């Protein structure tokens, strides 16, 4: 039974590619808000025992999560065999421990919430730091794909004589993987975060890399303070203007402008979150993974 794909607003292109790879078009449905703000949902063709996938990246999740869950519930109620979530950016992964007394470990609550609505989860480079795998926090089958080969390919094609720079120890896993694939040297800096927007970074032996183009690599760019601090240190050390490469372009508030104003050579991100800096396309990664998944199910 072929899968049916639903695009949540803003995810039409990706859902279109996923559906096309399965010889179909995204499912048609109506979703609007009543005058009081509550959602109205109507699926045109009931899924009738088909597997259903909802396609929705979850940057700025607060406004997205309720319609997503209501659409999933509607599909299930109308007979979907299973309801999976394809979510290129998975939020709430950074709240992975109680840093201070009384704080909520919201990664766990968010995972429990999604687990009640969906039967499976497919995402790209979730922020795995203290959790080593999604299965430590998600009870449903959850697959994490990796953009590292795409990042490495983009760097190989676009940057001459690079040295990859990770802004902190958390980024070592990304940087090492990307550097290995790109065949470039890499270094990781030391970061101290004193508050949401108060970050300092130190650079070991940076002069050693003077002849190379620094390429900052991180999984998430949110306030961009981590990258901005790093750019400042690299500039102080006399290195060439860096290229900034991130997987998830969250860019809160003026972060993108702030980063560009530092004089970076270029900012390039993946389209897990749609943003003007997108230069690296993850569509093929998701299409291939889903084909494998559906193929494996059909064979079993
Ligand atoms: C660390 O937790 C992440 O890997 C990123 O370094 C961090 O999210 C970047 O945040 P910001 O852009 O706000 O400095």
pLDDT tens profile 108-123: 999 999 999 999 999 9
Mean pLDDT, the chain cut into blocks of 10 residues (300 residues total) = 93 97 94 98 94 98 98 97 98 95 97 98 95 96 97 97 88 89 90 72 73 94 93 85 97 98 97 98 96 74
How much is the pLDDT for 168?
79
Identify the three-state secondary structure at position 211.
coil
Whose tokens are 């102080």? That residue is 236
How far apart are alpha carbons 55 and 18 in whole angstroms? 9
* Mutation test residue for ligand 1: of 220, 233, 251, the one with most atoms within 8 Å of CB: 220
Instruction: Please tell me the distance between residue 36's alpha carbon and the centre of ligand 1 in angstroms.
Output: 37
Which token pair is 183? 């065949």
Pocket of ligand 1 (CB under 6 A): 94, 127, 167-168, 170-171, 199, 218-226
How far apart are alpha carbons 119 and 142 in whole angstroms? 9
How far apart are alpha carbons 89 and 247 in whole angstroms? 9
Closest residue (by CA) to atom 7 of ligand 1?
220
CA-CA-CA-CA dihedral for 114, 120, 122, 125, to nearest 10: 60
How far apart are alpha carbons 107 and 110 in whole angstroms? 5
How much is the pLDDT for 288?
95
Q: pTM for this one?
A: 0.93
Spatial contact of 267 and 260, defined as CB atoms under 8 Å apart: yes
Instruction: Please tell me the distance between residue 281's alpha carbon and the centre of ligand 1 in angstroms.
Output: 21
Direct distance between the N- and C-terminal alpha carbons of the chain, in angstroms, rounded to an integer? 13
How far apart are alpha carbons 93 and 39 in whole angstroms? 27
How much is the pLDDT for 201?
65
Cα atoms in the Cβ-side hemisphere of radius 13 Å centred on 208: 9
How much is the pLDDT for 274?
97
Closest residue (by CA) to atom 5 of ligand 1?
220
């Amino acid at each position: 039974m072929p899968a049916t794909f639903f695009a949540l607003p803003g995810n039409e292109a990706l859902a279109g590619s996923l559906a096309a790879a399965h010889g179909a078009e995204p499912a048609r449905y109506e979703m609007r808000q009543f005058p009081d703000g509550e959602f109205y949902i109507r699926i045109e063709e009931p899924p009738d025992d088909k597997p259903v996938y909802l396609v929705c990246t979850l940057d700025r999740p607060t406004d997205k999560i309720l319609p997503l869950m209501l659409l999933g519930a509607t599909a299930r109620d109308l007979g979907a065999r299973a309801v999976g979530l394809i979510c290129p950016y998975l939020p709430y992964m950074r709240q992975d421990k109680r840093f201070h007394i009384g704080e909520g470990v919201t990664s766990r609550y968010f995972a429990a919430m999604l687990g009640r609505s969906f039967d499976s989860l497919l995402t790209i480079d979730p922020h795995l730091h203290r959790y080593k795998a999604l299965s430590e926090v998600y009870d449903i089958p959850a697959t994490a794909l990796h953009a590292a080969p795409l990042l490495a390919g983009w760097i190989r094609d676009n940057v001459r004589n690079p040295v990859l720079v990770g802004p902190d120890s958390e980024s070592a896993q990304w940087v090492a993987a990307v550097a290995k694939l790109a065949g470039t040297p890499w270094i990781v800096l030391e970061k101290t975060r004193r508050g949401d927007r108060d970050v300092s970074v130190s650079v070991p032996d940076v002069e050693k890399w003077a002849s190379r183009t620094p390429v900052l690599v991180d999984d998430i760019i949110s306030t961009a303070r981590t990258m901005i601090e790093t750019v400042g240190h690299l500039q102080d050390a006399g290195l060439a203007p860096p290229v900034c490469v991130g997987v998830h372009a969250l860019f809160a508030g003026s972060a993108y402008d702030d980063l560009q104003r530092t004089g970076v050579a270029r900012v390039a991100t993946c389209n897990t979150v749609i943003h003007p800096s997108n230069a690296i396309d993850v569509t093929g990664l998701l299409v291939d993974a889903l084909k494998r998944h559906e193929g494996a199910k059909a064979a079993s």
